[in-house]
Amino acid sequence: MAIPSSRVPLLDETDLEEASEQMLNRKSQTSPLSSRIWGTFLRVLSLILPSWLRFLDQENILVRQRKMRPTAYLDGIRGLVSLLVFLRHFALPWQVHLDYGYGHQNAYHDILRLPFLRLLFSGPLVPLFFVVSGYVLSAKTLKLGRQSAWEQLFLSLASSTFRRAFRLFLPPLFSTIVVMLLAYSGCFSFDYDIMPGREPVHPVALESLGLQMVQWLKFSFGELTNPWSWSRRNMLYGPHLWTIPVSFQGSLVVFLTCLGLARTKTYLRSGFLVIYILLTEMHGRWDIAPFIGGVLLCELDLSAASTTTDVSMSPIWSWRARMFNIALLILGLYVGSFPRFNGHGNSCVPGYQLFCDITADYRYWHGISALVVLLALSREPGLRFPLETSLVQYLGKISFSLYIIHEPFIHIVGFRTVPLFWMITGEDVAWRYQAGFVLGLFCSAFMLLWIADIFKTLIEDRCANLAAKIESVCFENSE
């Protein structure tokens, strides 16, 4: 079974720098000045040209399909979730009470509030992120433990732990510096009163640049990069970035869990992980439980891959197993459709009243949903096809950058597109209102993907390289 590594890029892609050099060589017969200008042009183009243009090349698509890893669907999950997070945050201010469930207080009977359909804007998005992170972060350690490669396990765990803070914190630190400067420049000024839905939180311009920088410093080191606080954070320069410090905390829990269970017997390890998940949920850490759930799913996958049998499953049992996994996926998506504001039981959707009797806190149900959905996908490869398509894999490649920049992009650019399209469609009736909204959404999504692609190339990838260089300087030679 292929195990994802933090040192390996999520997807293979053509190196534009090499292509630039080849094209430069073809131009070498011209004057040196022309060659330098042409080379500079190609290098600049390699920075601003979105890689999704290359992803639409059919020949490259076939090559990537041949190289598809068994765990590529996890990258697809990340990409799809990042896009849905953008969709949710774009729609919340323009749609009234988007988080209310179908039939809430005998109202809100529009079709998009029904289970499954509401997953487009309100599902277990963050828990899916966390489960995938737990899976990926633990994969190499669990595999080395099964091989009794204790020295390599320690080196891998030490490297992952050391680099994690750099990989998680450096890109959002850079993005929030830009957000701080844009906020001071007044770029977040917008007529939010025209929005009928939830008014989005955004940074405000202060009296001086010095005060703005001091506020950013307090935010950066008191909230964003503070791993010691388990309380609600005041994310002034990016409300969506609350997941970054939680991801760091969850990562440390994963590393400690892998270290503590590294030498336990294989048949006991899964049991310990289940107990750990239950205890974590009982103590109210709904945000950490998905990380441990990801470790459990990875352990189950490794156990399944190492199990061999000379007796193949009969067709009828194979069919039953497939139907069970499909039912498991449907169940997980149904649970994940549990609305965020359910009116403490005022829902006419079957089953949700029972959920409310247990707990009306959607975060626990969404965490369970994420585990069940990924369990079904891990057991049935045939269900992964939508997540392994070229477009979704591309979204997985830029998912972290997409998540980081989507909120400030929506405020500065995205929200302004809707009134512009209303000038064409009008907004006096419902369908005209929604037409302008949808056109603004698609236009904004196109621009966001391009900017996220550039951010990944210029910032995220370079932060990853910087983390590797810092590690090489600080670590003792293992040879």
The string of pLDDT tens digits covering residues 130-168 is 999 999 999 999 999 999 999 999 999 999 999 999 999
**Beta carbons of 122 and 99 less than 8 angstroms apart:** yes
* Max mean pLDDT range (97-101, 188-192, 288-292): 288-292
Q: How far apart (Å, rounded) are the C-alpha atoms in residues 387 and 80?
A: 8
Tokens of 221: 């080191």
Q: How far apart (Å, rounded) are the C-alpha atoms in residues 361 and 8?
A: 38
- Point out the least confidently predicted range of 107-121, 244-258, 262-276: 107-121
**Beta carbons of 93 and 200 less than 8 angstroms apart:** yes
pLDDT tens by residue, 55-102? 444 444 444 555 678 899 999 999 999 999 999 999 999 999 899 988
Question: What is the structure's pLDDT at 62?
Answer: 42
Question: What is the structure's pLDDT at 236?
Answer: 92
Asked whether residue 251 carries a pLDDT value surpassing 70, the answer given is: yes
**Whole-number percent of the chain with pLDDT over 90:** 70
Q: How far apart (Å, rounded) are the C-alpha atoms in residues 87 and 410?
A: 10
If you average pLDDT over residues 419-430, what whole number do you get? 95
Domain assignment present for 3: no
If you average pLDDT over residues 207-213, what whole number do you get? 96
Task: Give the residue, 309 or 394, on which the prediction is more confident.
Answer: 394
Asked whether residue 346 carries a pLDDT value surpassing 60, the answer given is: no
Alpha helices per DSSP H over 147-242:
150-184, 209-219
The residues pairing with 341 across neighbouring beta strands, listed in sequence order, are 100
Cα distances from 225 to residues 182, 307, 398, 409, in angstroms, run: 21, 42, 22, 22
Look up the domain containing 49 and give its range. 16-474
In the structure, what pLDDT confidence band is assigned to residue 13 with cuts at 50, 70 and 90? very low
Asked whether residue 24 carries a pLDDT value surpassing 50, the answer given is: no
Asked whether residue 43 carries a pLDDT value surpassing 80, the answer given is: no
Q: How far apart (Å, rounded) are the C-alpha atoms in residues 185 and 179?
A: 10
- DSSP output for 240-300: GGGHHHHHHHHHHHHHHHHHHHTTS-HHHHHHHHHHHHHHHHHTT-TTTHHHHHHHHHHHH
Q: Whose CA is closest to 156, among 165, 145, 146?
A: 145
Q: Tell me the pLDDT of the chain averaged across its residues.
A: 87
Question: What is the structure's pLDDT at 343?
Answer: 57
Asked whether residue 1 carries a pLDDT value surpassing 50, the answer given is: no
If you average pLDDT over residues 321-349, what whole number do you get? 86
Task: Give the residue, 20 or 205, on which the prediction is more confident.
Answer: 205
- Point out the least confidently predicted range of 107-111, 148-152, 337-341, 420-424: 107-111
Question: What is the structure's pLDDT at 2?
Answer: 42
Question: What is the structure's pLDDT at 27?
Answer: 47
In the structure, what pLDDT confidence band is assigned to residue 297 with cuts at 50, 70 and 90? very high
Question: What is the structure's pLDDT at 320?
Answer: 87
Domain assignment present for 7: no
Length of the chain: 479
If you average pLDDT over residues 414-436, what whole number do you get? 96
In the structure, what pLDDT confidence band is assigned to residue 405 with cuts at 50, 70 and 90? very high
pLDDT tens by residue, 354-377? 898 889 899 999 999 999 999 999
Domain assignment present for 216: yes
In the structure, what pLDDT confidence band is assigned to residue 305 with cuts at 50, 70 and 90? confident
Question: What is the structure's pLDDT at 175?
Answer: 98
Task: Give the residue, 12 or 88, on which the prediction is more confident.
Answer: 88
Question: What is the structure's pLDDT at 319?
Answer: 84
What phi and psi values does residue 37 have, to the nearest 5 degrees? -65, -45
Domain assignment present for 104: yes
Question: What is the structure's pLDDT at 199?
Answer: 87
Q: How far apart (Å, rounded) are the C-alpha atoms in residues 50 and 256?
A: 38
Question: What is the structure's pLDDT at 7?
Answer: 39
Q: Whose CA is closest to 439, among 423, 418, 419?
A: 418
The residues pairing with 381 across neighbouring beta strands, listed in sequence order, are none
If you average pLDDT over residues 330-340, what whole number do you get? 95
Q: Output the CA torsion sign for 53, 56, 60, 64.
A: positive
Question: What is the structure's pLDDT at 92?
Answer: 96
Q: For tokens 């007529």, what's the residue?
A: 191
- Per the structure, the count of domains in the chain is 1
Burial class (CB in 10 A: 0-12, 13-18, 19+), 13: middle
User: Structure pTM?
Assistant: 0.88
